[in-house]
Amino acid sequence: MDFEINGNKFRSKKGFYRHVENIFTYELGWRIGRNLNAFADILRGGFGRHDPGEEITVVWSNFQKSKQCLNENFLAAAEEILAEAENVTFEKYDYRK
């Protein structure tokens, strides 16, 4: 299963969490926590659109835009979570339509 985090869709951490929530829990009727631990949990699966441990691909498009909008430490931590998640293949692109 493929998921896309699009840097053009948010301009703050609050917006990032809303965007991630929309991607991974679309139409499930509940919200994820607004922290990186919750982000890591949602990537592992079982809380949204994919099963626990299910192999997924997460593409972060328009990453350059995210660099402009998010705190450097926050962005680095989010990248690390994506890169270290055992069930996630992580790709990022500076620009992508």
What CATH number did the domain enclosing 77 receive? 3.30.370.10
How far is Cα 67 from Cα 87, in angstroms, rounded to an integer? 25
**In a domain? residue 97:** no
Query: In which domain, by residue range, is 82 found?
Result: 2-92
| Helix extents (H) in 45-87 | 63-69, 72-84
Per-residue pLDDT of the chain (97 residues; tens, 9 = 90+): 899 999 999 999 999 999 999 999 877 777 888 999 999 999 999 888 999 999 999 999 999 999 999 999 999 999 999 999 999 999 999 876 5
The pLDDT value given to residue 94? 87
**In a domain? residue 77:** yes
How far is Cα 94 from Cα 63, in angstroms, rounded to an integer? 5
The pLDDT value given to residue 97? 56
Whole-angstrom CA distances from 30 to 24, 25, 74 are 11, 8, 24
The pLDDT value given to residue 47? 83
Question: With contact defined as beta carbons under 8 Å apart, do 74 and 51 qualify?
Answer: no
pTM for this prediction: 0.91
- For the chain, how many structural domains are there in total? 1
**In a domain? residue 71:** yes
